[in-house]
Amino acid sequence: MTSKLNVEGVMLFEQPFARVPYENYRKVFRTSQKNVERDLGAVQSSSSDILKRVAKGTLGKEEALNAIAGMTGKIESLKRKLHDLHETAGKPTQDVLRDRIHHLTLIENIAVMGNPEYNRWADTRLDRWLVDWCLRLGMEKTARKIATEKNIETLVDIDLFTDIRRIEHALLQHSCTEALAWCNENKVALRKIKSPLEFDLRLQEFIELSRAGKSQEAIAYVKKYLVAWQETHMHQIRTASALLIFRPNTTCPPYRRLYDPSRWHNLILTFRTAIYSLNTLPSEPLLHLGLYAGLASLKLPACYDPSTKNVDCPVCDGEAGSGTQELGLSQLAQEVPFSHHANSTIVCRISGKIMDEDNPPMAFPNGVYCFIKTYTKQVYPKKYSKR
């Protein structure tokens, strides 16, 4: 029995898959745009100056040639910059985008889930999800090995998660430098999603200056970086300013919380939320979301009744753990809601197969058990021949 493939449902999981390289290419484009604006702006300024001096008759021939040579040099320098940027960042990102779009277009030409092409595509997707799961748990070597063996390097975001781990490691070492550099690169996008990350990082640097007793540097830091946030974070700035008086061993709750080292962990969570949001990455691994969706579509109250469990149902799957607790997918399924089915489906409790027009149900005279006719023929050939 084959089912029609729900392409829209499949694509719900694939938004981050296409968004990550798109965001990377946007960064490349913005860098190129800044280089063009800066260098061409200088050339335009020089040419305007030359025209003005020519009109006044104050420009000599040798000066004009030197000015033109200088403008030519700037244009050639810009050309080299753009070429190097394209070769090192632009072209690789385009290749990733091309491979991912091709991977997604394959699913549009598949009509049913039983198609061998869909099985191959689903296997590749599972490999991608496993790499994503490994990267989120910090198992970068395992993720790289899977990606290399399955030849899916362009279909996974190893570089992105490597960057995430680098910045998070710096925050664990009580350094905001890397995170602030990332904020500067993504300032416009962070402003659009109203992320407090940059302010929190600046505030933490001020706290560290106060912790070290560097009052003059702390005051200068407030004037340079925190005053710009006074319209939206005035209360926090005022509270933090009192740290110039209160020492790290204070027992006053508001200031003790500001000196609390656990703030670094909160900064990691804030950074992770921001970078996931910019790349439309879910907070949960994609493998977990896929499991949740599958288990929720199958979960029924009957799955937790020992007398009605199905041998082929993942939700019914469970092994005895310590005490009365079950292990396996049934334990994971406890966290998801029950499924809602508009139409009921009768499943044989022995074979686990779905009953349909090809395998109609049969009941014992007492009406308690239903079996598939073909299965009854195989298991009870003598009894079936007599009836």
Task: Give me the tens of pLDDT residue by residue for the chain, a chain 387 residues long.
Answer: 456 788 888 888 888 888 888 888 888 888 888 888 888 888 888 888 888 887 877 777 788 888 888 888 888 888 888 888 888 888 888 888 899 999 988 888 887 777 888 889 999 999 999 999 999 999 999 999 999 999 999 999 999 999 999 999 999 999 999 999 999 989 988 999 999 999 999 999 999 999 999 999 999 999 999 999 999 999 999 999 999 999 999 899 999 999 999 999 999 999 999 999 998 899 989 998 888 888 888 888 878 777 777 777 888 876 544 445 556 777 778 888 888 777 777 777 666 677 777 777 776 665 555 555 655 666 655 554 444
- Cβ atoms of residues 189 and 24 within 8 Å: no
Q: How far apart are CA 208 and CA 197, in angstroms?
A: 17
Tokens of 111: 């009509």
pLDDT of residue 385: 45
Q: Which helix (H) or strand (E) holds 374?
A: helix 373-379
pLDDT of residue 325: 54
A 10 A CB-CB count for 363 gives 10
Residue 4 is classified by DSSP as B
**What count of Cα atoms within 13 Å lies in the side-chain half-sphere of residue 136?**
19
pLDDT of residue 339: 84
Cβ neighbours of residue 294 under 8 Å, at least 6 residues apart? 314
**85-126 residue pLDDT tens:** 888 888 888 888 899 999 988 888 887 777 888 889 999 999
Q: How far apart are CA 42 and CA 2, in angstroms?
A: 65
Q: How far apart are CA 172 and CA 372, in angstroms?
A: 60
Q: How far apart are CA 42 and CA 376, in angstroms?
A: 86
Q: Computed from CA positions of residues 355, 360, 364, 368, in that sequence, does the dihedral angle turn out positive or negative?
A: positive
pLDDT of residue 369: 54
**DSSP track, 87-135:** IIIIHHHHHHHHHHHHHHHHHHT--BTT-HHHHHHHHHHHHHHHHHHHH
- Cβ atoms of residues 347 and 361 within 8 Å: no
Burial 206-241 (b: 16+ CB within 10 A, else e): bbbbbeeeeeeebeebbeebbeebeeebeebbeebe
Tokens of 1: 């029995």
